[in-house]
Structure formats: C-alpha cells, structure tokens
Structure 1
Amino acid sequence: MNVGPFQILIIALVVLVLFGRGRVSEMMGDFGKGVKSFRRGLADEDNTTRVDGLSHEAKPAGEAITEPASDQTRS
C-alpha cells in the first residue's frame, strides 16, 4: 500500500479540523522539545559512561557464570 502526497494531505486536513490550528502547533512544539531532550540525554549518557577515555565493558552472561565446584559438594 503506497501512501502518496494526496493521502498525506487528507490526513493532515482531518487532524487540523479535529484539533484546530493552535492545538496542532502546540503538539508539534512539544514534540520538538521532546526530541531535543532525548538527544541531550543520549549525549549525557555517552559522557557519563566514559571516564578519562575508558569505558566499562561487562563480560557476556555466558562468561560470567562459572562451573559449579563438584568436589565441594561431595563429602
């Protein structure tokens, strides 16, 4: 199913009629603020995970599990 420019225009008009011009512009402004906040959060996360150029690398779960000591369980 291809969505062409005519279908997008109809959807935009329906949204505009349902919510009004002021509400749509307010929602788009809030959306833009959310995207900016998300990008800042990603940038902050990158800065906090690296200390002095080093990053913490955890071992995969399979390597972290050790074999049970069988001679400790036997008496």
Structure 2
Amino acid sequence: MEGLSIWHWIVVLVIVMLLFGRGKISGLMADLAQGIKAFRKGMSEDDKPTDAPPAKPAETID
C-alpha cells in the first residue's frame, strides 16, 4: 500500500469541512491557540524565582 497522495488529503479536508463547517474549525483553532499560550505562560511563570524568602522549617517537639 502506497502512502496517501494529495488527492486523499483533499478528499479528507473536504469531508472535514462539510462535517464541521468553517466556523467550528476556526473556533477550535482559536481555542487551541489560547491553550498553547496559557501553557507557555504557566511554564514561564514556573521558571521565575519568587521574591519571598524561603519558608522556615517547622520545629518538632520531642
């Protein structure tokens, strides 16, 4: 079996466009982009050091 040709991809794209429509696909892509931005922002916030001093360890009672 050979790989998928350009015609296979065109047929798949047409079927997807018919099923979901243009509005739903653009909405999904916008949601995906927002998710990626939120992920990157969260990752960059984890890398930044905090200004607060480290917490003191709790004393134990023997």
Q: Normalising by structure 2, what TM-score?
A: 0.61
Q: How many percent identity over aligned positions?
A: 32
Specify the alignment match of 2:14 in structure 1: 13
Amino acid at match of 2:17: L
Q: For structure 1, which runs of at least 5 residues remain unmatched after alignment?
A: 52-75
1:36 corresponds to which residue?
37
1:40 Cα deviation after fit:
0.5
How far did 1:15 drift?
A: 1.3
Q: 1:5, 1:48 → 2: CA distance?
A: 49
Detail structure 1 runs of 4+ shifted over 6 Å in the superposition.
Answer: none
Structure 1 residue 8 displacement after superposition: 3.1
Matched positions, count: 50
Which runs of no fewer than 5 residues in structure 2 stay unpaired? 53-62
**CA root-mean-square deviation:** 2.5
Amino acid at match of 2:21: G
The 2-side partners of 1:3 and 1:36 are apart by: 32
Structure (1 or 2) with the larger CA radius of gyration? 1
Q: Which amino acid aligns with 1:21?
A: R
CA distance in 1, matches of 2:34, 2:4: 28
